[in-house]
Each structure stands twice: as structure tokens, then as C-alpha cells.
Structure 1
Amino acid sequence: MTAVTPLIHQSASTTAEFTIRDVIEGQTAGHLIVAADDWGWWTALLSGESIVPTTGIQQTVADGLIRAGFLARRGHRYQLTHTGHDVGKNRGFVRVAVRGWEPTFRQVSDSAHREHISAATDPGAVALGCSDIARRKPEFFAGIGHAIATGTPGCTIDLGCADAGRVTALAGLAPRERFLGVDIEAGVIADATTELAAKGLSDRITLLAGSVQPEAEPPAWLDRVDRDAVTTAMSFFLLHQLASDGGGITPVLRGWMDWFPNLRRLVIGDGYLVEATSWTQQPWFSPTYEIYHSLTGVRLWTRQQYESAFADLGWSIARRMEDHTMLVTTILERE
């Protein structure tokens, strides 16, 4: 995974070349970042707390994060550096690349004779990472929550909801709204449903397992939904793949509009295609994103292609929020 952590230190305008040291340090740091996240360190550190390693393994990870420049020691406690703050905010990206997509990259060595390889992911890691990516900008969620809460209460559906982290967060921002989440990973949905019940949110949030790709025949889960009640549809980090498999962005969006005839708002978060001759000229996550999808035969789409599809279907951009240039969340509305 050569494009994970070294680029955390480099801006899109950097023209330096990678070295062998960058490659090795990047892979090592990426794994340490994920381990620290599993222990809850980044959450604590970003809230202003310091951490104290209590075992030999924790001490080794903390020392590595110091040497990477992400932590600083203050007596026997550890605090974030400025760079560490950025790393903590971006840990969802790192998790997807280091853990979620690693099974796919592992296939490459034995697949030289093939045009593409099938995506082989860790569904739990991808779900958690994507949920973290979508939530890493609180102001983005505040904007989405405000848009939902301002209008007449209805039902918001998250198409490709992962671990339900997004709908859970939005339920606190729009207390009169009901929420649905659908994801193709049944195991992820089962775990998330159990967690929602433990939090007492089952009465406001319903999760269903199934595909959200529009096909000739509607998916089975749609029979369990009050389709007329859905007024907001969201999708994060999935539309590019559905569009690649389904003939383009417009057919997918039109399919969702057919499913839910009273849609008045779309929230689309996705990664846009950002090309450059050198990886160091791209946003730091862009090379991994681009190569992963090239290997699996999934087409990526430019900002112009997304916005043309929105306009063709009668949607107006109410708000656009950019993160790392390539990751864009767009709130779309129509009469």
C-alpha cells in the first residue's frame, strides 16, 4: 500500500518523488494508525485528552506514532501533534486503504493474465472506514441535518448505509425525521441492527439488507418500504460503482427517483476522478482510490459528469461541500 501514509505529509502541489523509505514507512504507519483507532486513541486525542500506554504493545505503537510525527510525549502521557490531528481526522481513509481494500490488492500478484480482478474486501473495515470518512467533517453533517430538519418531516433513506453511522448521526440532528438504511452486506446490517436496538433507536431507524442497484425488477427489500414517504435519499461512496455497472450516473439516479416518487432532496457524496501524471500532484488518497478501481474494472467519473447528470434530471445544487478536492458532498433539491 504505497500511497497511504506518505502523502499525509505532502500537499497536492508537491512534486517530490517517492523513495523506498517512504514506501516502507507509509505501510508501517498505516497499520499503526488503524490499531490506534481500534483502541479508541484518536477519538480520545481529538477530544483534547491525552493517552497513556499500559502494555508493551501499546508502548510500541505509541513510540512508532511519535517517530512518525503524529504524537508528542509530555511526561508519561502522549498528545497529538498538528500532523497527528490531521491523521486522526483522516483515519477512515487510512482504514479503507490499509484494511478494507488490502484483500483486493493481495490478488494482484497472481492475476497478471487477467484484465481485472474481483473486489475482495473486508466488509466491516470498509463500512467503518466509509462511515468515518462521511462523518469526519462535522460541518458537512450539520449542513445535511439542517436541510432535513428544516423541511416537512418525512423519511430519509441511506442507500448503501454501511454500519448505519451516518443515519445514526443524522437522527440526532433531525429528531422528527424517520430513517432507513439499506446495504448489500447482510452481516454488517445485522450487527448494526443489534447496535441500534441497544441504543434505543430501533423505533426511528430501520435497516434492511439488499442491493440498491436499479434493475429491471425492483429489489425485494423495497416491498417493505413506504415508498411514498421517502423524501430524501442519500448515497455516499457508492454511486460511482453503481454507475459503472449500471450504464451511467443518470440511469442510477433515475432508478432511485422511480423507486421514491416524492423525492425532493438528494445527498450525494462520492469521490471524483482527479488525474495527474505524478501521485504527489494528487490529493493524498486519490492514487489509492484510482488504482483500486482500475484494478477492479470500476469506472470513475469527473465532477462535470456528475453535475451534468444532476442537471439533466432536474436537480439543482443547493450546497456543495468539498473535502480533499476529490471527495465532494452535494445537497440537491427540486420542486
Structure 2
Amino acid sequence: MTAVTPLVPQHSGLGDFTIRDVIEGQTAGQLIVAADDWGWWATLLSGDTIAPTTGIAQTVAEGLVRAGFLIRRGHRYQLTHTGHDVGKNRGFVRVAVRGWEPTFRQLSDSPHREYIPAATEPGEVARGCTDIARRRPEILEAIGRALATGAPGCTVDLGCADAGRVMALAGIAEQERFLGVDIEDGVIATAAAELAERGLDDRISLLAGSVQPEPEPPAWLATVDRGAVTTAMSFFLLHQLASDGDGIAAVLRGWMDWFPNLRRLVIGDGYLLEAPYWAQQPWFSPTYEIYHAVTGVRLWTRQEYEQAFAELGWTVRRRLEDHTMLVTSILERD
């Protein structure tokens, strides 16, 4: 009998997934997000401990102990080293487990399609993106210091999500005014209510609408003092707009037309980092890449971003890298 050589080795040495990784990983992700909704990670990261008082909370806590994220000390729980890493990165978990889940759920019924239109949970994505931005406070601090340099102006966050970034930056650049714009009406309404409760609505305004440059300007732009805007920011969105439109430079050029007195851009986005196997990419990079592939959105390389910046006369004054694939660039005009 002739031996048959397997087409794919059972153990390739490339960090193979096992069925256990798939199932337990999904369970751990759900527990991580639930604990975050209860405020546990913020408490634990501040150096405090938690003490569950209900049966379901106790069950979740014990699950996080068995996953290696918490350790029990009497009736209270504290972080392990791995748990600290989980808490700092819970925004990525939220986006993948809750925010993008409706999109992935469509795969089973869509084998005939070229791609699947994104179907997200907007509130979950917005919160997750803000958590991702806040995991590195020194990056927000650097942006805030840049905004505070020179004469105060107005900073617009194009795709502001839940306004978490502008609220944080308002506490650093205390003379700056802020405008946040996002296409999700419900997210904007919730964020506006929070601004009012915190007494920040005198310095921060929020508007609902598209930030994609089109031949006809969006309606919200007519309500804005366009000449007062001196800084435009965008996080985790430019790749989508560039894919839907005519590329990175076209989107940036449109924003420059909207706001003729721009002197600064702050662009934070995920760069394309391809590899044949998931284990050869930074964690979350495969999920990011696959999600956009199934939704028909092109991702862009660092070289493509920097080429577009240079084409339009912008110079990178500071580059802030987080998580390898996430890069924030502070740019000024030549």
C-alpha cells in the first residue's frame, strides 16, 4: 500500500490553533467584556480589588481566575500579570467580540457574495475604539500638548465615536474648542447627554453626519465656522473612507477644502501588515485584516499613508506607534 503524504502537516510549528483555543477563547472574550461592562477592569487597573456580591458575578470572577486573569485573595480578587494586559487591551476584545460579531454572523448565509456589508453594533465599536485610544495615555497626552501649542483654535474629530477622545483632550488642551462628528445618530445622542452631565458642552460640540468628502458637502458643515477649525483628527476611519472613495489623498484633500485654515492633522489608523499565517502577525492584526476583507474594505500600508501626506504638503512631526499596527501621526504643513 502506498503511503499518502498529508497536504498540510498536522504540526507546522507556526503557532497552530487548536479547537480548545477556539472555544475557550470565545468564552474568555465574553467574560472579559461583561467584566468591563461592570467596571471591573477600570477598578482593578487603578490598583484596587473587586468583591463580587451576586451569584452571576461570582461565576464570572471564578471564570476569570481559571482563565488566568484574576487571582483570589480571601473574598476579593486582584489582577494577575496577564490580567493586567487583558484589562489594558479590553477595547480590542470588545470590538472583536461584540462590535463586529453581527458582520461575521452573516458569513454562513453569504457564500455567494463577493463581500458582506458591515453590520456592526455601533455603540460597542465606538466604546471599543475609545478604549483602544486610551490604553496608551501618553499618546493622548502628546496630541493634547500639540493642540495646546500656539494660539488656541478649534479641533474637529472626524468620526468621533462616543466623544471619549475629545473629552480626554479637552482636559489637556484647556483653551482649545472641540467639534466631534460621527455618522451614528444614536452614538452622538448618547455622547451629547454625557457631555451635558459633565458640564463640557460649552467647549465641545457634537454633530451627526457623514465625514466622507463628496461632490456636495454634508449638511452639518453649513452649521460650522469652517475657518475657525485649525486641527482635524481622525482615528480608525481613514482606511474605510479611502477605500470607499478615491484613496487617502482624496479624502485628506476633501477635508482640507472643508477647513481652509488647517495647520495640523492628527491621523490614527491601522496599517496593513500581511503574513501567510496568523502567528506571524501581531495579535489582533489577523482579525482586523479578515474583517475588512469580508466587508470589501481595502487596508493601506504605512508607505501609502506617508506618500499621501507628502503629496499634499504635510510633514510628519511626530509618529506614535501602539500595538505595532496602530500608528498615530501628528502632521503639520510645510
Q: Secondary structure at the residue paired with 2:207?
A: strand
**Pairing 1:238–2:237 present:** yes
Q: Which residue of 1 is the match for residue 77 of structure 2?
A: 78
Shift of 1:76: 1.3
Other-structure match for 1:200? 199
Counterpart position of 1:227: 226
Give the alignment of 1:15-164 within 5 angstroms.
Answer: 15-164=14-163
Distance in 2, matches of 1:16 and 1:180, equals: 45
Q: TM-score, normalised by structure 1?
A: 0.95
Shift of 1:324: 1.3
Q: Tell me, in whole angstroms, the C-alpha distance in 2 between the residues paired with 1:274 and 1:76.
A: 44
1:149-170: CA deviation from partner (whole Å, max 9, x where unpaired): 1221000000000000000000
Q: Whole-Å Cα distance in 2 between the matches of residues 284 and 24 of structure 1?
A: 18
Could you say which residue in structure 2 is the equivalent of 1:3?
none
Partners of 1:25 and 1:279 lie apart in 2 by 18
Counterpart position of 1:314: 313
Matched position secondary structure for 2:292: helix
Give the Cα–Cα distance (whole angstroms) in 1 for the partners of residues 168 and 36 of structure 2: 19
Q: Which residue of 2 aligns with 1:4?
A: none
Return the alpha-carbon distance in structure 1 between the equivalents of residues 63 and 279 of structure 2: 24
Query: Which ranges in structure 2 are unaligned for 5 or more consecutive residues?
Result: 1-12
The residue type paired with residue 49 of structure 2 is: S
The CA deviation string for residues 169-226 of structure 1, in whole angstroms up to 9 with x for no partner, is 0000011000000000001101111110111111100000000000001100000110
How many residues end up aligned between the 2 structures?
A: 322
**What does 1:176-195 align with in structure 2 at a 5 Å threshold?**
176-195=175-194
1:281 aligns with 280
Deviation, 1:75, is: 1.4
After the TM superposition, which residues 257-276 of structure 1 pair with which residues of structure 2 at under 5 Å, given as runs?
257-276=256-275
> Counterpart of 2:195 in 1: which secondary structure?
helix
C-alpha separation in 2, matches of 1:151 and 1:124: 35
Counterpart of 1:299 in 2: which secondary structure? coil
For residue 166 of structure 2, what is the aligned residue in structure 1? 167
Q: Which moved more, 1:72-81 or 1:230-239?
A: 72-81
- Please give the alpha-carbon distance, in whole angstroms, between the structure 2 residues aligned to 1:151 and 1:253: 23
Report the alpha carbon displacement of residue 283 of structure 1 after superposing the two structures with TM. 1.0
SS state at 2:171 partner: helix
Residue of structure 2 equivalent to 1:10? none
Query: Deviation digits for residues 40-65 of structure 1, max 9, x if unmatched?
Result: 00000000000011111111111111
Q: Which amino acid aligns with 1:16?
A: G
Deviation per residue, 1:234-258 (Å, 9 max, x gap): 0000000000001100000000000
Structure 1 unaligned residues grouped into runs of 5+: 1-13
- Partner secondary structure for residue 268 of structure 2: strand
SS in 2 for 1:158: strand
> Under a length normalisation based on structure 2, what TM-score does the superposition of the two structures give?
0.95
Q: Which amino acid aligns with 2:130?
A: S
Q: Which moved more, 1:273-282 or 1:14-23?
A: 14-23
Counterpart CA distance in 2 for 1:328 and 1:79 is 32
Q: SS in structure 2 opposite 1:162? A: coil
| 2:296 alignment partner in structure 1 | 297
Residue 315 of structure 1: CA displacement? 0.7
Q: Which structure exhibits the higher relative contact order, with contacts defined as CA atoms closer than 8 Å and separated by 6 or more residues?
A: 1
Deviations 1:58-105 (A, max 9, x none): 111111111111111111111111111111010001000000000000
Q: Secondary structure at the match of 2:104?
A: helix
> What is the alpha-carbon distance in structure 1 between the residues aligned to residue 65 and residue 263 of structure 2?
49
Aligned mates of 2:227, 2:285 — CA distance in 1: 38
Letter in 2 for 1:174: A
Shift, 1:15, TM fit: 3.2
Task: Report the secondary structure of 1:203's partner residue.
Answer: coil
C-alpha distance in 1, partners of 2:92/2:132? 6
* Corresponding residue for residue 10 of structure 2: none
